[in-house]
Amino acid sequence: MHIVDLIAKKRDGDTLTQEEINYLIQSYTKGKIPDYQMSAFLMATYFQKMNDEEATYLALAMRDSGDVIDLSQIPGIKVDKHSTGGVGDKVTLVLGPLLASLGVKFAKMSGRGLGHTGGTIDKLESIPGYQVELKIEDFIKQVNTIGIAIVGQSGDVAPADKKLYALRDVTATVDVIPLIASSIMSKKLASGADAIVLDVKVGHGAFMKTEEEAIKLAELMVSIGRLAGKQMTAILTGMDEPLGHKIGNGLEVYEAIETLKGKGPQDLVDVTVEIGAHLLLDAKVETQFEQAKKRLYEALNNGQAYQKWVELVKAQGGDISVLEHPEKLLSSKTVPVFAEKEGYIMDINALDIGKAAMRLGAGREKKEDNVLFEVGLDLHQKIGSYVKKGDVLATLYVENRGVEEAKKLILGAMTIGDEKKELPLIRRTIK
């Protein structure tokens, strides 16, 4: 088998076999195929695409390039959830303890943020002492003991994907749905869960800007997961405005704590409960969707979910005193952003809101950048809100950088006019 033949085959629009894709991934991971030839293959794929079968073979080959986590020592059905990334998306922080409080095994490996999208691991690291790295045996023991562990992805999970993604990033071949789907699913399949719900974001602040793109990606990822023997569901959720009100690592932990105490913003609660209900059914804890949702709302409101959150943070070495005084997670320096005109908030460009938080230091422009855990912003107004000139649109939590740029981005992101709009939050469910 020769790489030149495979480049030509894909260039001409032909379908690759599983054996050919395995050869391609194994050889590239081992350094036997140089970057310039893999770049040619990626560009051929960008134009000619892949069918569902090829994308599945690619996901499986990348999964098998490194460690595949064996969770068989954890009895019962293990569940996981993945978000395609958005602004203010702290669903995992709420969902995990919520499900575990109802007896579901939540074994989660999460990533760091890059660009305008935040990462669960960065958020958890804003809690002093929280250990994001556990040995696999300790990870399994913790899930068996308290029903939940949330850790960083191992450096040995899907190394082919890491190498391939870095190349896609510099060859303008990121934006092709079969490559996106196989990249995401290679890591999910390597993480060992039995049932997975995918939260596919769509809108300004998401990688998928249109519903049509989001549906294609969701359907392909569900197909890949099913072909690999997993229980799969995807939901499309709106990201035309940030989820919740707070954006930034410590701020999002603060809002997650409020939500786990039954005082969270309605959009965050509704998305979390929607995902959680599917996973309660998958885990055989409930048989009726509406009853599952009812139990989840109850667990948020009666303190059950919050107690499981405390158990999680304590088990992974976090300072639980911060949970009772979450204001310690926030910068003491604040700057208000005032409305410059009166009217309804008709649109919020979530991407620019995410960029504003990033300019303050809450996110990374490059993988090696450090983040400031205590900075970010609290968005007081949502689409449909009525504001007067001089009302506070947002409060910035700042240190010593990016303040004026962040203010400008926020004012530019919010369209104020005469029409009151409402956007659907849960767009579609794909099984």
Residue 415 backbone dihedrals phi, psi, to 5 degrees: -90, 120
Q: How many CB atoms lie within 10 A of CB 338?
A: 13
**Long-range CB contacts (within 8 A, 24+) of 129-133:** 129/317, 129/318, 129/319, 130/313, 130/316, 130/317, 130/318, 130/319, 131/316, 131/317, 131/318, 132/316
Distance between alpha carbon 42 and the CA centroid of its chain, in Å?
25
Q: Buried b vs exposed e over 387-418: b needs ≥16 C-beta within 10 Å?
A: beeeeebbbbbbeeebbeebbebbbebbebee
Token pair 């970010």: residue? 376
Active-site residue identified among 10, 81, 82, 105:
82
Q: Which of 110, 154, 183, 223 is catalytic?
A: 183
Catalytic residue among 63, 90, 123, 187: 187
DSSP string, 270-327: HHHHHHHHHHHHHTTS-S-HHHHHHHHHHHHHSSHHHHHHHHHHHHTT--THHHH-GG
From the list 192, 228, 233, the residue with the least C-alpha distance to 107 is: 192
Tokens (6 digits) for 216: 């294609």
Of 168, 245, 278, 364, the active-site residue reads 168
Supply 119's token pair: 């990462």
DSSP three-state, residue 80: strand
**Phi, psi at residue 278, to the nearest 5°?**
-60, -40
Catalytic site includes residue 168: yes
Walk across the sheet containing 78-83 and list its strands.
Answer: 148-152, 105-110, 78-83, 195-202, 231-238, 426-430
CA distance linking residue 224 with residue 232, whole number of Å: 9
Are the beta carbons of 256 and 92 closer than 8 angstroms? no
Query: Of 64, 122, 161, 352, which one is the catalytic site residue?
Result: 161
- Residues composing the chain: 431
Short-list 283, 250, 251, 279, CA closest to 74: 283
Q: How far apart are CA 416 and CA 167, in angstroms?
A: 41
Distance CA 24, CA 26 (A): 6
Active-site residue flag, 12: no
Query: How far is residue 224's CA from residue 415's CA, in Å, rounded to a whole number?
Result: 39
The catalytic residues are: 82, 161, 168, 183, 187
